[in-house]
Every structure is written in C-alpha cells, then in structure tokens.
Structure 1
Amino acid sequence: MSYNIHSRRDDTAALAEVVRSAAPDVVIVQEGPRRFRWRQKCASLADGFGLVVAAGGLPALGNLLLTSLRVRVLATRCQRYPLTPGRHLRGAAYAECRVGGSRFLLAGSHLSTDPAERPAQANAFKRELAATPLPVVAGADLNEGPDGSAWRTVAEGLTDTAVAAGRAARPTFPCADPQRRIDALFVDPRITVVDHDVVDTPRARRASDHLPVLADLLLPAAD
C-alpha cells in the first residue's frame, strides 16, 4: 500500500481502519510524522496499523516505511532532496527487505507541488532506484499524473501496477471528488502484479485527502 495520510489531520480512527482492513505487508507513507517527538508518533502510527517502523520519519522528511512482522528489514537509508529557498523540504526513504528467500528494495517518496522542482526530485529518486540490483517496490505521491515528466522519469523501466492490472483510470485525489491519479506504485518487471486497487470507501474518504493505492504482488523466487 502507498498512502498519503495528510499529516493525520483527518479522521485518524478511520485511517487506522482503512489500513487494518487491507492488511498489507508494507505501507509506504507520505506526510508521516516529521517534527517534535516524531519517533514516538511514527511508532504510534505503525502500532495503529498493526505494523512496525522500518525506515523514515524526520530523516526522510515525512516519508515512512512500515512493514508487517513477515518482512525482515536488512538495511535502511533516507534521502533529502536539494532545498529550493522558500519551498518545503522533500525526500525519500529506502529499506532493503526480505520475505522468505526473496529480497527487494522498498522505497517511498513525495515530490513537490511545484512543477519546476519535481523533475530534479524525480531524477534524484530514480538514481537511487536504478542503483540497486534488487527488485524494486516504490510508492510515491508524485503530485502530477502519468503525462508529467517527473512521473515518466520515475516510471521508466518499471511496471505501473495500475496499468498492469487494467486500473489506470482510477483517480486518487482529492478523495472528496477524485479527479486525478497522482499516487502510484511502481515495481520491477521481475515482480508479478496480481492485482491493483484504489481503496475508495466512505471510511477512506474520511481518513485523508488522498485515497490509498493497494497492490498484490508476487516476488521473484530467490536465486
């Protein structure tokens, strides 16, 4: 699941129910805790979802990776994009993970609302994704649709799970009247997309200003 949780400004009980109902093994969070007592807030958020913190928070500027206990986290790192004066800091979080014998890189980012900033941020995110030999699972709020240059940069060489499942027409934002698909999950071609959905329920519309995207994935067998 990839989910912009709107800094928990909305119905937090509904937010936890949305995630728990989906029962994902990983949640890639945008606009997670990043300020005072962020560690405790991240832990509390994860606990409410029935998950644990893998990486992110303040060092990744609100990008947060959460996993179930089925997922073993082997290594983590955070990234901050170059700051444009007067703009919000943006970044990304990464975790090398293993489920059974299969390893993969879990990654999440939140690109700028400023179209002048997004291309450089997309390039920085893409460099990290391209540098790993592991299969990639990447979630992001790209703040633009599939016709945007930053989206195309991130998506190059990866599988858009919505397209693979024939669900690319499902918008994710704004949740009160969804019009745009700006939230996405991208995976390595070695990963099989079994299903993809946008969770659009009354509960999800109370939980955040974005609808979460959810994919069922089959990881490649270990070598």
Structure 2
Amino acid sequence: MTEGALRVLSYNVHGQRDDRAALAEVVRGVAADVVIVQEGPRRFGWRNRTANLARAFGAVLAVGGLPSLGNLILTDLRVRVHHTWTTQFPLTPGRHMRGAAFAECSVGRRRFTVAGTHLSLDATERASQAELLRKELSAVETPVVIGADVNETSGGAAWRTIADGLTDAAVSAGAADRCTFPLLGPQARIDGLFVDPRIQVVRYDVVDTPLAKRASDHFPVIADLVLPE
C-alpha cells in the first residue's frame, strides 16, 4: 500500500430502511479506511443502533449519532482518531434539523480532518448550512476531506460554497457525469467528496452495483486518496 494512502466512502444509508444485509455487504466490499454516513441513527436508541451499524460495516465509530443528527464518521483500525466534534445547524421551524460531524485523524504521521454532513432540501437553508460548515472548518490546519449529501448538484450555491478552494474528487477523476440519485434512473450527482488540494485523488467511483440498488436510495461514492506528508 502506498504510504499515506486513504480510501474514503461517503454514503447516505436512507435511515437503514432498505436491505440492511445488502447495505453491510456494499460497505464491507469497498473496504474503506473512512466511512462517512448520512442518515445514520439519530433518535431513540441511537447509541446501540450506531454501534450495531459500525459492527455490521466492520468499522469503529469515531463520532456522530444524535449530536450530529445522523451524520457518522467510521474508521478502520489503521486510522487513529485524535479529536472529534459535532455541530447542529439552526432549526428552521417546520423543517428537518441538520448537523455535521468532524474528526481529526491520522494514518501514520499524516494527519487529516474528516467532515460529514447532509444538507437541507430548501435551497436558502442549504446555502446557509454550507456556509456554517465551512466556517466550522476555517480554523482547521490539517488537510480536509468532506463527504456530503448536498441535496443539490454542482451548479447550486451550497455545492459551490463547500467546493470553494477544494478539489471535487469526481471532477478531478473525470467522473462528474456519474449520478448518485435516484437509484432508478439516476439523474443527479448530489453526493460529493471534496478534498484539500494538497491531497492527491488517485481514483473516484460511484458504487452503482445491483447490490447497492437494494441497500439505499442513494449510490455511495468512493475515492482513493494520498495524504500529503
């Protein structure tokens, strides 16, 4: 394995409302070092449910659950987690409350910070949440990896805010035409992986297998990265 190599998966798991065995098989088959989850457990029994999900994925929980409103960051054992935190975005009455999870990690001596979020269905609220996410990361000095269900495509204001100054892994790999949603006739790329320009994107893919079609209502996205020294 290349020194500093890191495989990252970002996946909206649809609240585990689909085929859970297929979901676990999809994630285990990718063998990612970091799994960024949207729509993970966030309500009653979230601790046990999150632990069970991590176990099913063959990973350990770094951060997430109720404090980040269903956003999770999971890792394998080669990733060391140094510091974690969460945030909750302001609630607009009548809408779904959203948040984000963050983890400062390392592989060997190479440090990086992971963030995961799932933005609003409302364009105005979504743009504000994207700005708050970037503000939360503004003081982070280590290279950043963001996995997000942005709920809009790359032309939207929220997407542009998240991507500002970062590398869109799909664009870097020449795969911006690979859609992630909906599963039946995918028409939009609303799930993204964004990385610090110091991080090399070696490979990007959308896991659009028959198994993935049973596991959730989104296709997961994966990137093979090389962290800077």
Of the three residues 145, 148, 156, the one matched with 1:140 is 148
* 1:66-215 correspondence to structure 2 within 5 Å: 66-215=74-223
Report SS of the residue matched to 1:117: helix
How far 1:116 sits from its partner (Å)?
Answer: 2.1
Q: Deviations over 1:150-199 (max 9, x none)?
A: 00000000000000011000000011221100000000000000000000
* 1:4-23 correspondence to structure 2 within 5 Å: 4-23=12-31
How far 1:115 sits from its partner (Å)?
Answer: 1.2
Runs of 4 or more, structure 1, over 6 Å off, are none
CA distance in 2, matches of 1:31, 1:176: 20
Of the three residues 33, 52, 57, the one matched with 2:41 is 33
Runs of 5+ consecutive residues of structure 2 not aligned to the other structure: 1-8
CA distance in 1, matches of 2:183, 2:28: 19
CA distance in 2, matches of 1:29, 1:171: 18
CA distance in 2, matches of 1:9, 1:52: 21
Report SS of the residue matched to 1:170: coil
* Number of residue pairs the alignment of both structures matches: 221
Please tell me the root mean square deviation across aligned C-alpha atoms, in Å. 0.6
CA distance in 2, matches of 1:157, 1:72: 26
Aligned partner of 2:86: which letter?
Answer: C
Aligned partner of 1:152: which letter?
Answer: R
Report SS of the residue matched to 1:116: helix
Runs of 5+ consecutive residues of structure 1 not aligned to the other structure: none
Q: Alignment identity in percent?
A: 65
CA distance in 1, matches of 2:138, 2:160: 14
In structure 2, what is the equivalent of residue 42 of structure 1?
50
CA distance in 1, matches of 2:187, 2:127: 23
In structure 2, what is the equivalent of residue 220 of structure 1?
228
TM norm structure 1: 0.98
CA distance in 2, matches of 1:76, 1:88: 24
CA distance in 2, matches of 1:49, 1:175: 21
Report SS of the residue matched to 2:124: coil
CA distance in 2, matches of 1:183, 1:131: 25
How far 1:129 sits from its partner (Å)?
Answer: 2.2
CA distance in 2, matches of 1:198, 1:69: 24
